[in-house]
Chains A and B, each alone.
Chain A
Amino acid sequence: MNWNRLLAMAGKEVIQIKRDARSIAIVIAMPLVMMLAFGYGVSFDTKHIPVYVLDMEGSQQSQDFLKRFQSSVYFNVVKAVDNYPALIQAIDGGRCQIGIVVPPDFSNNLNTGETVRIQALVDGTDSNSANLGMSYSQAVVQAYSQQLQLQWLQRQGRTNIQPLVTVDARTWFNENLESMSTIVPGVVALVMAVVGTFLTSLTIAREWERGTMEQLISTPVTPMEIMFGKLAPYMAIGLFDTCVCAAMGVWWFGVPFRGHLSVFFLSSILFLTVVLSMGYFFSVIAKTQLAASQISLIATFLPAFLLSGFMYPIDQMPAVIRVITHIVPARYYMAILRNVFLKGTSITFMWQDFMALAIFATVLGFVATRVFKKRLD
C-alpha cells in the first residue's frame, strides 16, 4: 500500500464532499435531525391520555371520584358527556382514548357495600398506550377505593388498617424513567448506520454509474488504496457525528454520560468500521445508487432500528427473531452505548460485545477488500 496514493484518493474524496455544499450541511444536520425526531417524537412515558367522562349519577361523590382523573398527570380529561352514544362517537373518532363511565347507582352502592363497577372503555388500537392507560386508571380507582375503605373502617373503630406490603422501587441507571434516556443513546447507533452505510454506498456506486470508476481502475491505485481512501473521510465524518450526537444528548436532552470517553470512541470506531465495510460491500455489488441505497437501508438501518434493542426489547421477541439479532452488529453497539451513557459499566463487563463488534469488523472488512478485487479483473 502506498501512502501517497492513499492520501491522494482520500483527498479527492474530501474535495468531492466539499464541492457539494449540501453534503456538508447534511453531515452536520443528520445527527441533529435524527436526534430531534427521535428525542421528541418517540416517547414511552404515556402521559395526558385524552379521556372523556360520562357521569350517569352526577352526585357530589361521583364528581369527587372523577376529580381523581383530572388531577392525575397521566390523564387529560377533555370533556364530560351526558350520554352513551356521544362517548362511543368520541372513541370511534379518536377524540379520546379512554371513556370512563360512572354508573347511576354509584353513591348508593357505595353506601350499602354493594360492589360498584366503573367502566373504562378503552380504544385498544394502540395496544401499548392502551395498556398503560388501563393500568393507570386501575391505579386511580384502586387508590380511591382504598381510601374509602380506610375511612369506613376508621368509622367502624378500626384504626390499625394499613397497606400491608409496600414496594420500595429503585430505578437504576435512569432514575426518573425518562424515555429520552433510553432513546437518545440509541440514536447514535442509528446515525452511524446511516452515515456509514447509506452515504458511503452512494459515493462508490456513483463512480460506477458515472463511469469514473473505470478511470480510477486504470490508474496505478490498488483496490486497498481505493477502499481506504474512499472510506477514510467517511470515518472522520462518522466520528464527528458521534460527537455531535453525544454532545446533543448530554447538553440538550440532559442524558447522563457515566462511562469513559475511551470506551465510547473505541466502540464507535469498531462499529463504524463494520458499517463502512458493509456500505462499501453493497456499493460494489449493487453498482447503481438506487440499489445500493435500498440494500443499505434494508441491511443496516432497518436492523439497527428494529432488531438492536433500540426501542423494542430483544428478550421479548419470538425465539427465531432473537437468534437473528445475534448477527446484527448494531445490537452490540447499542448495548455498549447504553452502558456507556447510562450505566457507566467498565469495559470488563462488555468484552463480549466488543469481541462481537471486532469480529464483525474484521470479517466484513476482509470481505469488502476481496469483493472489489474480483471486480477489477
Chain B
Amino acid sequence: MIGRLRHMLIKEFIQVFRDKRARFFLFGPPIIQMLVFGYAATLEIKHVHTAIVDYDNSQVSRDLISRFEGSRYFDIRTRLAGRQQIPDVIERGDVTMAIQINSGFAQNVRKGQTAHIQVIVDSSNSNTALIGLGYVNEVTSNFSREYQLKSLQRTSPFTIAHMPKIVLDNRPWYNTDMSSQWFFVPGVIGNLVLVIVVTLTAFAVVREREIGTLEQIMVTPIRRVEFILGKTIPFFFIGLFDAALISVVGTLWFHVPLRGSIAVFVLGTVLFLLCVLGIGLFISTVSNTQQQAMVTAFFFIMPSITFSGFGSPISSMPEFFQYLTYLNPLRYFQIVLRSIYLKGVGLEVLWPQMAAMAVIGLFMLTVSVLRFHKSLE
C-alpha cells in the first residue's frame, strides 16, 4: 500500500508542479491577494471629503469651521458660495458631505440659544456616511461644550467645579491602533486556504474524470483509499505551505503581530484543512466537468466567506443567518486565526473552535469518501 501510495503521490506532485504557470498559480495569487487586501480593504474613514457653505461668516462660525479643518478626519475640499451648489458637488461625487452654517449662527450661540448647522451626506456608502456623521457630531459637541463651559465660567465659576461629570475611557485591546490591516490580514489567511484547497482538490479529481484518465487509474491495482489519499495529501501540504507563506508575508510586510503559539496555529490550520479537503472532495463527487466543479466551489466559497465574520461581525447579521454560521468551518478558523494573532490566547480559550473544526472536518471527509466510492462505480 505504501509503495502504491508513493507512486500516486509522485504522479500528483509531478502533475501539480509540471508546468511553470501552474507553479506560479499555487504561490503567486495568494501573495497578490494578501497585498491587495492589506492595502485596499479598509473600512476606516480617515478623511471625509467635505464642502462648506458659510452664510454666517462670523468669528464663531469660522471658529467652528477651523475645528473641522483642524480635525484629521475632514478634508475640506471646497468652499461653496451658496447652497444651490451642494447637489452638484455631491452628485458628481466630489465630496461626500456638505456642511452648511446659516446666518444668525453666531447670534444664537452668543445668546445661548440653540444654533443649527445643516449637514448633507451622500449615504450611498452607508458606512462612510455613518462614520462621517459621527465625526461631525463629535466636533460640534466638543465645540458646544467649550462654549457652554466658557459662559458658565464667566457667570458662576464656583458652579462648574461641582457639576457632575462622567467621561468614558475607551481602551481598545489587542489592536490598540485600531488598524484594519491587523484585522484583515489574519482573516485573509483563512479565506485563501479555503479558496486554494477547495478549488484545487475539486479540480484535481474532476479533471481526471473529464479527460478520461480516471478510468485508466481505476484499472490499475491502486485502491480507492490510496487514490483519495494520493489526491488529498499534496493539497494538504500545499495548503499548509500557503498558510505559512501568507502568514510570513503578513507578519513581515504588514507587521501584524503573531502573539500566540505557532503550534496552536499549525493545529488550527491542520484541522481547517481537514474541513476544506473534505469539502473539495465532496464537490468533486457531485461534478462531472471542471466547469461544474469550479462553479459549485464558487457557490460554496462565497457564502462561506461572507458568513464567517471575516468582513463584518456575525452579531449584526439577521438571527437565522447567525445560526447558519455555526455550520461554517471558516467561522471557527477566523476566530482561531485572529485570536492567535492578536490576542495571543491558546487552546484553553480556543478548544471549542478546534473541536468544532475537527468534527466538521471528520464528518465532511467521511461523507465525501463514502460518496466518492459511489461516484466511481
Contacts and interface: CB of A to CB of B under 8 A. Distances in A.
Interface string A27-54: 0011001101110111111111110000
Given A161-B148, A169-B136, A203-B291, A76 B315 contact: yes
Interface in A104-132: 110-132
B363 interface: no
Contacts of B199: 290, 293-294
B118 interface: yes
Interface in A205-232: 206, 209-210
A262 interface: no
A92 B315 CA distance: 17
Interface string A296-312: 01100010001101011
Contact of A40 (B119, B163, B292, B317): B317
Given A20-B292, A131-B178, A202-B290, A41 B123 contact: no
Interface residues of A, number: 123
A94 interface: yes
Contacts of B42: 312, 316-317
B32 A125 contact: no
B115 A126 contact: no
A168 B119 CA distance: 6
B303 A165 contact: no
B315 A163 contact: no
B374 interface: no
Interface string B207-234: 1001100000000000000000000000
Contacts of A338: 124
B294 to A, nearest CB: 5
Nearest to A74: B316
A126 B183 contact: yes
A59 interface: no
A152 B163 CA distance: 7
A48 B316 CA distance: 6
Nearest to A118: B168
Contacts, number: 357
A321 B174 contact: no
Contacts of B173: 91, 121-124
A334 to B, nearest CB: 10
Interface in A34-84: 34, 36-38, 40-50, 65, 76
Nearest to B113: A162
Interface stretch (B242-250, B341-349, B365-373): B341-349
Contacts of B263: none
Most buried by A among B43, B118, B128, B207: B43
A369 interface: no
Interface string B17-54: 00001100100010011001101111111110100000
A132 B129 CA distance: 12
Contact of A145 (B115, B162, B165, B307): B165
A317 B39 contact: yes
A26 B39 contact: no
Scoring B129, B156, B179, B316 by chain A CB atoms within 10 A of each residue's CB, the highest score goes to: B316
Interface in A322-352: 335, 338, 342-343, 345, 349
B302 interface: yes
A113 B161 contact: yes
B268 to A, nearest CB: 14
Given A40-B317, A129-B313, A307 B128 contact: no
A125 B303 contact: no
Given A117-B169, A169-B121, A48 B178 contact: no
B134 interface: yes
B1 interface: no
B74 interface: no
Nearest to B338: A125
A171 B129 contact: yes
B376 interface: no
Given A22-B292, A112-B162, A313-B128, A163 B144 contact: yes
B353 to A, nearest CB: 9
Interface stretch (B4-12, B86-94, B272-280, B354-362): B86-94
A128 B339 CA distance: 17
Contacts of B117: 165-168
A166 B203 contact: no
Interface in B101-119: 108-109, 112-119
Given A91-B173, A125-B342, A128-B43, A141 B167 contact: yes
Contact of A169 (B36, B133, B338, B342): B133
Contacts of A250: none
A168 B295 CA distance: 48
B69 interface: no
Given A125-B343, A127-B178, A119 B43 contact: no
22 contacts: A37-B307, A41-B317, A42-B312, A49-B313, A49-B315, A93-B345, A120-B169, A120-B171, A122-B170, A122-B171, A123-B173, A124-B174, A127-B179, A156-B159, A164-B114, A165-B141, A169-B121, A181-B126, A199-B295, A202-B290, A312-B40, A345-B91
Given A124-B175, A134-B170, A313-B45, 19 more contacts: A23-B292, A37-B302, A42-B306, A45-B130, A93-B349, A115-B167, A116-B165, A124-B342, A125-B183, A127-B43, A127-B175, A129-B313, A148-B164, A153-B163, A164-B143, A165-B109, A171-B123, A182-B125, A302-B36
Smallest CB-CB A-B distances: 3 pairs: A41-B306, A124-B172, A113-B162
